[in-house]
Amino acid sequence: MPEMRFVVTWPGGRDEECYSPSLIIKDFFAEGQSYPLADFLDRSRQAFTIASDRVEAKYGFPCSLARGQLARIETAASGFRDRQAATVLMKTFLA
């Protein structure tokens, strides 16, 4: 199963490298595009659920790495929920 890494920039300016066990991230995000925080979270939930489901279909168990990455995204985003215009930049997809 092809996996990928990508970098997001949080509203505070901090970059974070993230992991997905599937290329599905590219179906939900565009490189260089900024997303309102709520939209970023919705897209992330959808993408990582699909990624985990794909692992489960292939190997018989959900992907703990996808679930863990989503949890880290949710935790990081919680620090910016009080910012009305907070956006997250999908900075780049890594090889």
Q: Per residue in 50-59, pLDDT tens? A: 999 999 999 9
Beta bridge partners of 90: 8, 33
Summary mean pLDDT of the chain? 95
The predicted pLDDT at position 57 comes to 92
Q: Reduced to 3 states, what is the DSSP secondary structure of residue 20? A: strand
CA separation for the pair 53, 40 (Å, rounded): 20
Q: Show the domain range for 9.
A: 4-94
Number of domains in the chain: 1
The predicted pLDDT at position 2 comes to 85
CA separation for the pair 78, 93 (Å, rounded): 23
Q: CB–CB of 4/25 below 8 Å?
A: yes
> What is the value of pTM for the model shown?
0.93
Reported as a single tens digit per residue, the pLDDT across 8-19 is 999 999 999 999
Residues with pLDDT less than 50, the chain: none
- E strand residue ranges, 1-95: 4-9, 15-20, 33-36, 87-94
The predicted pLDDT at position 81 comes to 85
